[in-house]
Amino acid sequence: MTISTNPHDDDKFHEECGVFGVWNHADAAALVALGLHALQHRGQEASGIVSLSEGGVFHTHRGLGLVGDIFGDAKVMAGLKGRAACGHNRYATTGETALRNVQPLYADFEFGGFAVGHNGNLTNAQGLRRALVKRGCLFQSSTDSEVFIHLIAISLYTNVIDRLIDALKQVQGAYSLVALHDGALIGARDPLGVRPLVLGSMPNLGGQSSWILASETCALDIVGAEFVRDIEPGELVVIDATGLKSIKPFAQTASRFCIFEYIYFARPDSVVEGTGVYESRKLIGAELARESHVAADVVVPVPDSGVPAAMGYARECGVPFELGIIRNHYVGRTFIEPTDQIRHLGVKLKHSANRAMLEGKRVVLVDDSIVRGTTSKKIVEMVRQAGAAEVHMRISSPPTTHSCFYGIDTPSRRQLIAAQHSIEEMAKLIGVDSLAFISLEGLYRALGQNGRNADKPQFCDACFTGDYAIPLTDWPAEQAHAATPELLPGQ
Distance of closest approach, residue 467 Cβ to ligand SF4, in angstroms: 9
Q: How many CB atoms lie within 10 A of CB 478?
A: 17
Among 71, 262, 406, 444, binds ligand SF4 (CB under 6 A): 406
Active site includes 17?
A: yes
User: How long a stretch of residues is the chain?
Assistant: 491
Judged by CB under 6 A, the residue of 122, 347, 366, 460 near ligand SF4 is 460
Choices 157-165, 208-216, 257-265, 302-310 (CB under 6 A): range interacting with ligand SF4 = 257-265
Distance in angstroms (rounded) separating the CA atoms of residues 39 and 116: 17
Minimum separation from the CB atom of position 460 to ligand SF4 (A): 3
Contact with ligand SF4 (CB under 6 A) among 184, 259, 391, 418: 259
How far is Cα 267 from Cα 321, in angstroms, rounded to an integer? 21
The correct pick among 28, 67, 151, 194 for binding ligand SF4 (CB under 6 A) is 194
We find the least distance from the C-beta atom of residue 58 to ligand SF4, in angstroms, to be 32
Q: How far is the CB of 128 from ligand SF4 (least distance, A)?
A: 20
Question: Which listed range, 83-91, 361-369, 401-409, 446-454, lies at the site for ligand SF4 (CB under 6 A)?
Answer: 401-409
CA 316, 317, 323, 328 torsion: positive or negative?
A: negative
Question: Which residue's CB is nearer to ligand SF4, number 319 or number 370?
Answer: 370
152 belongs to the binding site for ligand SF4 (CB under 6 A): no
Which residue in 220, 404, 416, 432 binds ligand SF4 (CB under 6 A)?
A: 404
- Give the whole-angstrom CA distance, residue 173 versus residue 195: 10
Q: Looking at beta carbons only, is 13 or 91 nearer to ligand SF4?
A: 13
Minimum gap (Å) between residue 91 Cβ and ligand SF4: 13
Site track for ligand SF4 across 352-391, x = CB under 6 A: ----------------------------------------
* 438: Cβ contacts below 8 Å, ≥ 6 apart: 284, 287, 288, 291, 292, 395, 396, 397, 398, 446
Question: Where would I find the H helices in 243-332?
Answer: 260, 277-291, 307-317
Minimum CB distance to ligand SF4 smaller for 258 or for 418: 258
CB of residue 319 to ligand SF4, shortest distance in Å: 30
Among 271, 419, 462, 470, binds ligand SF4 (CB under 6 A): 462
- Tell me the C-alpha to C-alpha distance, in Å, between residue 477 and each of 70, 223, 399, 447: 40, 44, 21, 32
- Asked if 472 interacts with ligand SF4 (CB under 6 A), we say no
433 vs 205: CA distance, rounded Å: 61
Cα(63)–Cα(87) distance, integer angstroms: 12
259: three-class secondary structure by DSSP: coil
The answer to whether residues 99 and 36 touch, using CB atoms and an 8 Å cutoff, is no
Strands in 17-23's sheet, in edge-to-edge order, are 57-64, 46-53, 84-90, 17-23, 209-214, 198-203, 226-230
301, HSE (Cβ side, Cα atoms, 13 Å)? 23
Give the x-and-dash track for 411-450 against ligand SF4 (CB under 6 A).
----------------------------------------
Catalytic residue ranges: 17
In the complex, the residues that contact ligand SF4 under the rule CB under 6 A are 13, 194, 258-260, 404, 406, 408, 460-463
